[in-house]
Structure 1
Amino acid sequence: MKFFLLLVLALIVMINGNPLNRECKCKAVSNTISFPFHSWDISSCKLCSCKDAAMVNCEQACKSMVESYARTGCGKVIKGSKVKYSWEASSCSKGVSKVEYTCA
């Protein structure tokens, strides 16, 4: 019976990612081909659900990071380039923004 439970847990982890450790990841990507310019690990939580603040606010936190990144010139990216934000909150949510930010 213990082997069966371990097997089920291993399958859940393989299919859905690790449900015991969730992470909010963010990327500033080009507006055309989604090439990543910069990425951040924003937050993580152990033994949390998708209702945890770290997961619920992942998109908003990512948006703020990319807005600041664009305002400060996007590193060595050519001035005037446009970026979007891409976020992933483990298996809770993920996506790419429709809003574009111009690198200062």
Structure 2
Amino acid sequence: SGGQVQRVMLARALAQEADVLLLDEALSGVDAVHTDELITLFGNLAATGTSILVSTHDLSLVRSRFTRCLTVNKRLVGDGHPSAELADNKLEQLFSSTTQEEVL
């Protein structure tokens, strides 16, 4: 399954013992149990000094499990706690600017 492939790819990345992990949609297709385990693992790695950047479109996951959120729209738009960065007014600004640019 797609989730198994994702977990294998993550295992390969983790086996490198890198100081920095850049994970693009790494949790996509992974079931809830394994997602929870992986996020706990990411937290443990971060606590030991590993820098981890996870890109995702799953805003509910970011709100519930992450402590820092970067929002990007062609450039860095926001950097802070998910409760602030994913507030309705910020999301409205983020997505309306994209829509306005596409219309122009």
Same fold (TM over 0.5): no
Larger radius of gyration: 1
Greater RCO structure (CA 8 Å; 6+ sep): 1
Q: Higher helix proportion, which one?
A: 2
- Give the TM-score taking structure 1 as reference length: 0.30
- Give the TM-score taking structure 2 as reference length: 0.30
